[in-house]
Structure 1
Amino acid sequence: MQTFTEFKASLSLPKPDSGLSVKLKSLWYDGKGDWAKAHAEVDQLNDKASAWVHAYLHRKEGDIWNADYWYSRAGKTRPDVSLQEEWEQLVEAFL
């Protein structure tokens, strides 16, 4: 199991670790600046954890209405923290 520090360090690699969950792969791609690939990882998933990542991605995109829909699907409310803080919270939650 990776630590947060190891996960962040892995962003320098060309591809994510094959053992990562789909949620962490999505966050990894987002951490690399590839929003489209990050979104593609969770776009078709319906579980609450994936919906939380999906919500974050739409918040980052600036599509707040869509983000709030996905936060609702995740059983969450849109946080009042920076996008970086939310990304870190998500990574920590799924590690």
Structure 2
Amino acid sequence: MSTKQQLLSALEAEQAGDWDKAHEIVQAMQDKQAFWIHAYLHRKEPDVGNAAYWYQQANKPFPHCSYDEEWQAIFNHIKKLKE
């Protein structure tokens, strides 16, 4: 499975309500996009301290938008990535 497919699988799992599966996928990856998803997951958990760490790893500011808006931004970004 490509990195892009793994990232999309994590987002789809989270959207389906399977936080644990989404977390398991991104936790095993060493990729800035995975770090972003990891941050989002902990923000939504909520575990703000852990989320802040992962946003830093992803080089992303801590967002002030809704969870849905951030999920969509991550999804759109990943869809544009090459396989």
Q: Give your verdict on TM over 0.5.
A: yes
- The within-5 A match list for 1:2-21 is 21=5
Name segments (4+ residues, structure 1) moved above 6 Å: none
CA drift of 1:70 comes to 0.2
Aligned letter for 1:37? K
Q: Are 1:66 and 2:50 matched, yes or no?
A: yes
**Counterpart in 2 of 1:11?**
none
CA drift of 1:49 comes to 1.1
**Counterpart in 1 of 2:78?**
94
Distance 2:64 2:76 in 1: 18
**Identity score, percent:** 42
**Counterpart in 1 of 2:24?**
40
Distance 1:47 1:30 in 2: 18
TM-score (norm 2): 0.87
**Counterpart in 1 of 2:12?**
28
Q: Are 1:77 and 2:49 matched, yes or no?
A: no
- Compute the RMSD of aligned alpha carbons: 1.4
Which one scores higher on RCO, CA 8 angstroms, separation ≥ 6? 2
Aligned letter for 2:9? K
CA drift of 1:21 comes to 1.6
Distance 2:71 2:33 in 1: 13
The structure with the larger Rg is 1
Extract unaligned runs of 5+ from structure 1.
1-17
